[in-house]
Amino acid sequence: MKKIILYLVMGTTILGAQLMDGYYFVQGEKYYYGWSSTAGITVEDGKIVEITTNKMNKNGDLVTEDVEYNEKMLVKTGITFEKFSMEGPKNLMAVLKGNRDTAETSVDNNDFHLTEIDTIAGATSSSKKLKKMMEFLVEKAESGKTGNHRVKL
């Protein structure tokens, strides 16, 4: 099994950002190989408390529940999207909570720093899409525009 490769892919600092409570969801505009990337964040008391990511087809089916897709991805890349959908958000939440040695800050202060998103070997494209979707969702959370959104990835 390939190792998880961790490195800084995002150094975006949002100075003085106040995140508005609510649920924010984004889906990619295009379907690549039948799937569109999705991500969601839940903000409570001005802090991100949950992050999710997945892929969805036009019927609303989730890629994490597609056994055939995950088996093919595992053979080709050494990781399943099901694992990526758990590891990516889990690692990012650890950074946001200040639980990682690489975390430069915590979300407990007045400044919100989205310091990194880990890239997982075999899921580089998904990691890049998650990064873009997180940037988009943070912008929405700053403005308080909750709900479902679409973004070009």
Nearest to 53 by CA among 6, 86, 78, 22: 86
Residue boundaries of the structural domains of the chain: 13-151
Residue with tokens 């399943």: 80
Global pTM reads 0.75
How far is residue 140 CA from its own chain's centroid?
14
- Predicted confidence (pLDDT) at residue 69 exceeds the cutoff of 90: yes
CA distance 100 to 93: 10
Distances (CA, A) of 82 to 89, 107, 115: 12, 27, 24
- Predicted confidence (pLDDT) at residue 15 exceeds the cutoff of 60: no
What CATH architecture applies to the domain 13-151?
Alpha-Beta Complex (3.90)
CA distance 122 to 105: 28
In tens, the pLDDT along 35-62 reads 999 999 999 999 999 999 999 999 999 9
